[in-house]
Amino acid sequence: MSRQSFLPASSQTLAQSLTEETSINLLQQIQVKAIATSLSPNPIPTTYVSRTAPTSEASQDATTGTPPILLLHGFDSSVMEFRRLLPLLQQQHPTWLVDLLGFGFTQRSSALSFTPTEIKQHLYATWKTLIGGPMILVGASMGGAAALDFCLTYPDAVAKLILLDSAGLDNAPDMGKMMVPPLGWMAAEFLRNPWVRQNISRAAYFDKSLASADALTCSRLHTTCPDWRRAMIAFTRSGGYTFLSETTVKSITCPTLVIWGRNDEILGTDDAEKFERAIANSRLEWCDRCGHVPHLEQPEQTAAYILNFI
C-alpha cells in the first residue's frame, strides 16, 4: 500500500489545505503495515511513522542499548498530533508513532468492537512486529490511558513510561450510557462537525491562536475514513478506560515521567500530582503557559523533558 493511499478521496482533498510545514512533512511520512493479530483472520492495515536518529547517533543508541520511543495519540486523534514533537525527538533518538486501533488512519474492521482490550492486543502485535524490544512508551491524554493499560499487561515491553496530560484516573464520565441508537449516531456526527472540533481545539490550548486552520485540518483528516463513526460509537459504548484508577496505576513499576500543562482546561491539573503520588518511581514536570497538549503548544520544552528523562 503506497503512502497516502490510506486516505479516502475526501481526506486527500482536505489534506491539500495544510499549511504548516511540520503537518505536511508528517503526513508524507505515514506508512501502512498489515499487522497480524488474534483479533481477526486478516491482518489489520495499521498506519505508523518511523523516524530514526542520524547515523552517528543511531549507532550510539545501538551501543548503549537505549530503547526507541513510541508515541500514542489521544482520543479521536491520529499520529498527526505529534507533528511538532517528532522532529525534535528524532534528531537525537529513534522514534515511532502508531495510530491506535479504531483511531487515526488504521483500518477499522467491521469484525471488531474497538474495546480497550482489543486496542491493547493490536498495539502489542504492532509493537512486536515493528519494534520487538523494550521501548519508552509515551501517551498523550487518552493515549496515556492506553499506555498505562499496556504497561500493566506487558511490563517487559516498557522500559520507561511518559504521560502527557494523561487520562487514566477514575474521574472520567462513562459516556457509553448515551451511545444508544439514535443518540450514538447523533453524538458522533456532532463530534465530526468542524465548528465543534474548532472549539475543542481552542479549549486544548492556552494560547488560543494555536487553534489555527491547519490545526483544525489535522484534527479532521481521519474523520472521513471508512467506519469512523461506528468505531467512535463502539469505543465509547465500551466504557473506554474508566476501569483505570489511582489504585490500578500503583502497580506501575517502571520509571515514569509525568508532563502536564499548568493551564489544562480539558482535564484540569489535579491528576498530575495524583499520578506522581500513585506511581512510586515517577516525577512530575510542568509546562507553564500551556494547556492540554504540551507536545503541540510547548514542543521544545516537552522534548527537552523527554530527552533528559531517557
pLDDT value of residue 64:
52
Has 264 been annotated as catalytic?
yes
pLDDT value of residue 188:
81
List of long-range contacts for 32-37, beta carbons under 8 Å, 24+ apart: 32/1, 32/3, 32/5, 32/6, 32/105, 33/126, 33/129, 33/130, 35/122, 35/125, 35/126, 35/129, 36/125, 36/129, 37/121, 37/122, 37/125
Take residue 119 and report the three cell numbers written for it: 486496542
pLDDT value of residue 78:
98
Identify whether 3 is part of a domain: no
CB 133 within 8 A of CB 67: yes
Q: Give me the CATH number covering residue 219.
A: 3.40.50.1820
Residue 48: name the closest of 106, 121, 5, 9 by CA: 106
pLDDT value of residue 2:
44
Identify whether 242 is part of a domain: yes
Cα separation, 27 vs 7, whole angstroms:
10
Identify whether 2 is part of a domain: no
SS3 105: coil
How many structural domains comprise the chain? 1
How long, in residues, is the chain? 310
Q: Which of 264, 271, 282, 295 is catalytic?
A: 264
Terminus-to-terminus CA distance in the chain, angstroms?
34
Q: Which of 73, 122, 222, 292 is catalytic?
A: 292
Which amino acid belongs to residue 213? A
Identify whether 4 is part of a domain: no
Segments forming the whole domain that contains residue 37: 9-309
Cα separation, 57 vs 98, whole angstroms:
23
Residue 33: name the closest of 63, 62, 2 by CA: 2
Give the residue carrying C-alpha cell 515493528: 130
Q: Which of 23, 77, 78, 141 is catalytic?
A: 141
Identify whether 159 is part of a domain: yes
pLDDT value of residue 6:
79
pLDDT value of residue 118:
98
Identify whether 151 is part of a domain: yes
Identify whether 1 is part of a domain: no
pLDDT value of residue 77:
97
Has 73 been annotated as catalytic?
no
Identify whether 196 is part of a domain: yes
Take residue 180 and report the three cell numbers written for it: 444508544
Angle between helices 194-204 and 183-192 in degrees, nearest 10: 70
pLDDT value of residue 79:
98
Residue 33: count other Cβ atoms within 10 Å of its Cβ: 17
Output the tens digit of pLDDT for each of the chain's 310 residues: 445 677 888 888 899 999 999 999 999 999 999 999 999 999 999 999 997 644 334 433 444 578 999 999 999 999 999 999 999 999 899 999 999 999 999 999 988 999 999 999 999 999 999 999 999 999 999 999 999 999 999 999 999 999 999 999 965 544 444 434 444 557 788 888 999 999 999 999 999 999 999 999 999 999 999 999 999 999 999 999 999 999 999 999 999 999 999 999 999 999 999 999 999 999 999 999 999 999 999 999 999 999 999 9
Rg of the chain (C-alpha set): 18
**For 87, phi and psi rounded to 5 degrees?**
-60, -30
Has 141 been annotated as catalytic?
yes
DSSP state of 223: G
pLDDT value of residue 184:
59
pLDDT value of residue 280:
96
